[in-house]
A = this chain, B = another copy of it.
Amino acid sequence: MAFVNQNEILQSLIQDQLVSDPASARGRLLKEAATLFRDKGYERTTVRDLAAAVGIQSGSLFHHFRTKEEILKAVMVETIRLNTAVMQAAADQVDSPQGKLRALIRAELESINGQTGEAMAVLVYEWRSLSDHSQGEVLELRDIYENLWLSILEELSQSGRLAADAFIVRRMLTGALSWTVTWYRPERGGLTLDGLTDQVMAMLGFVDGHAALS
């Protein structure tokens, strides 16, 4: 199936029970949790904060989740699942490696700075609040996501269009793109998402603005 927009992808994942419906009680809680975890940090966010955000008593949370950490893990797992699907779809819509790279960068910037931004920030900055066991589970999902990037970067590297090592470029991009959440404010005018994507591509030595569409 070739998905076009993010909403179709989301519906499909909900169907397969891989992510929670944002309209359900569980989904709404995860959404609020992501926002609170990003704004205040996991540790500073109390179960009373979480409960108040969805309008229930703190004890009632534990009917939906066994522990507070399980909430954090759920935010992370569902975020990776959704974004892996979104990125895959973005890359599939373009043919050239350079175009695929641009699509990935744009899609990740959109994830980080758009609707799922809160959850993405949690994924990056609340990593060590997870227990070792949970970290392992999340790590497995992350590997799938990362391989999406690496296969494309290595293709560009081998054809000589990328000056630095593929692994290292991906790691640099991980840091650089996730960091945008701390400073990029598209709503204040100035730089659009496409403009920002162009800047990142330019930094990597791809200077021809909007990438080849085919």
Which residue numbers of A lie inside 8 Å of B, CB to CB? 39-41, 43-44, 125, 128-129, 163-165, 168-169, 171-180, 183, 191, 196, 199-200, 202-205, 207
Chain B contacts for A179, CB-based, 8 A = 171-172, 174-176, 178-179
- Additional pairs, 20, CB under 8 Å, beyond known A172-B176, A203-B203: A41-B129, A163-B202, A163-B203, A163-B207, A164-B202, A164-B203, A168-B199, A168-B203, A171-B179, A171-B183, A172-B179, A173-B176, A174-B179, A175-B175, A175-B177, A175-B180, A176-B176, A176-B179, A179-B179, A203-B205
Oligomer copy total: 2
- Chain B residues within 8 Å of A177, by CB: 175
What residue of chain B has the Cβ atom nearest to residue A178's Cβ? Answer: B175
Offer 18 A-B interface pairs, CB within 8 angstroms, sorted by A: A39-B128, A40-B128, A43-B43, A43-B44, A44-B129, A125-B125, A164-B199, A164-B200, A165-B199, A171-B179, A171-B180, A171-B183, A175-B178, A175-B179, A175-B180, A176-B176, A176-B179, A179-B179
Q: For A172, list chain B residues within 8 Å (CB).
A: 176, 179, 200, 203
Give the shortest distance, in Å, between A106 (CB) and chain B (any CB): 15
Complex contacts, A199 vs chain B, CB 8 Å = 164-165, 168
Question: Which of B164, B165, B203, B205 makes the CB contact (< 8 A) with A169?
Answer: B203
Alpha-carbon distance A39/B127, docked complex (angstroms): 11
State the Cβ distance, A162 to closest chain B Cβ, in Å: 8
Of all chain B residues, the one with the shortest Cβ separation from A125 is: B125
| Docked-complex contact B40 and A41, CB < 8 angstroms | no
Write out the residue numbers on chain B whose beta carbons fall within 8 Å of the beta carbon of A204: 203
Bound: A200/B169 CA distance, A: 8
Residues of B within 8 A of A129 (CB): 41, 44
Chain B residues with CB under 8 A of A171: 176, 179-180, 183
> Which residues of B have CB within 8 Å of A183?
171
The residue on B at minimum CB distance from A40 is B128
Complex Cα spacing A172 to B109, Å: 12
